[in-house]
């Protein structure tokens, strides 16, 4: 994958901003993930050059935490909570339904780059179980039958 030059420059800058902090690796990775939606190996190498942390170690960190992703995430990241409370309230069916509609598995992104589905741990919104969030906005008590409508709402916003 070819990474654009500006992106590399920007990532170097992010590294520089944190160079006085002790062990800033995860802070840098979080910032890159939030800004670009993923941290590919090519950028990990850039971060390695800037911070002096071996690339293999960075790869180890990126693959350890579920927050980081090696492939780009969609414009809308859908979190389906599979914490205990949501799970017993049928979150699995909600997740399955989402996967069927979008034709992807949890962790994957649709081909048009619009949606990513992720199964997450408890969001602390158990009173609203089962909870689904899209880019941080929480949808309470989602039924499998409502999933289609939620997706449509975002597709409409995009005019697709």
Residue 23 lies near another protein (rule: CB under 8 A): yes
Among the listed residues 11, 14, 15, 24, the single contact to another protein using CB under 8 A: 24
Q: Are 117 and 105 in contact (CB under 8 A)?
A: yes
Query: Which listed residue (117, 139, 142, 150) binds another protein by CB under 8 A?
Result: 139
CA distance 31 to 63: 16
Residues 140-159 that bind another protein (CB under 8 A): 140
Task: Kindly identify the residues of this chain, within the stretch 77-106, that bind another protein according to CB under 8 A.
Answer: 83-85
Measured from the CB atom, the residue of 98 and 129 that comes closer to another protein is 129
Secondary structure of residue 134 in the 3-state scheme? strand
47 is an interface residue for another protein by CB under 8 A:
no
Region binding another protein by CB under 8 A among candidate stretches 4-12, 108-116, 132-140, 142-150: 132-140
C-alpha angle 72-78-84 in degrees, rounded to nearest 5? 125
23 alpha carbon, distance to own chain's centre: 23
Largest Cα span, the chain:
51
22 or 103: whose CB is closer to another protein? Answer: 22
Q: Is 74 in the site for another protein (CB under 8 A)?
A: no
Q: Is 5 in the site for another protein (CB under 8 A)?
A: no
Any contact of residue 131 with another protein (CB under 8 A)? yes
Q: How far apart are CA 116 and CA 12, in angstroms?
A: 27
- Cα distances from 8 to residues 46, 84, 97, 125, in angstroms, run 7, 41, 38, 38
Contacting positions for another protein (CB under 8 A): 21-27, 29-30, 53, 57, 60-61, 64-68, 83-85, 120-128, 131, 136-140
């Amino acid at each position: 994958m070819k990474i654009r030059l500006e992106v590399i420059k920007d990532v170097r800058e992010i590294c520089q901003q944190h160079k006085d902090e002790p062990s800033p690796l995860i802070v840098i990775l979080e910032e890159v993930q939030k800004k670009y939606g993923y941290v590919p190996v090519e950028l990990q190498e850039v971060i390695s050059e800037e911070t002096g942390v071996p690339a293999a170690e960075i790869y180890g960190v990126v693959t350890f935490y579920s927050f980081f992703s090696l492939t780009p995430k969609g414009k809308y990241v859908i979190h389906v909570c599979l914490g205990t409370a949501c799970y017993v309230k049928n979150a699995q069916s909600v997740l399955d339904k989402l996967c069927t509609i979008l034709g992807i598995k949890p962790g994957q992104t649709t081909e048009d780059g619009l949606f990513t589905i992720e199964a997450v741990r408890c969001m602390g919104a158990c009173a609203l179980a089962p909870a689904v969030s899209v880019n941080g906005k929480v949808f309470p008590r989602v039924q499998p039958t409502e999933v289609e409508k939620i997706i449509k709402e975002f597709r409409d916003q995009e005019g697709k």
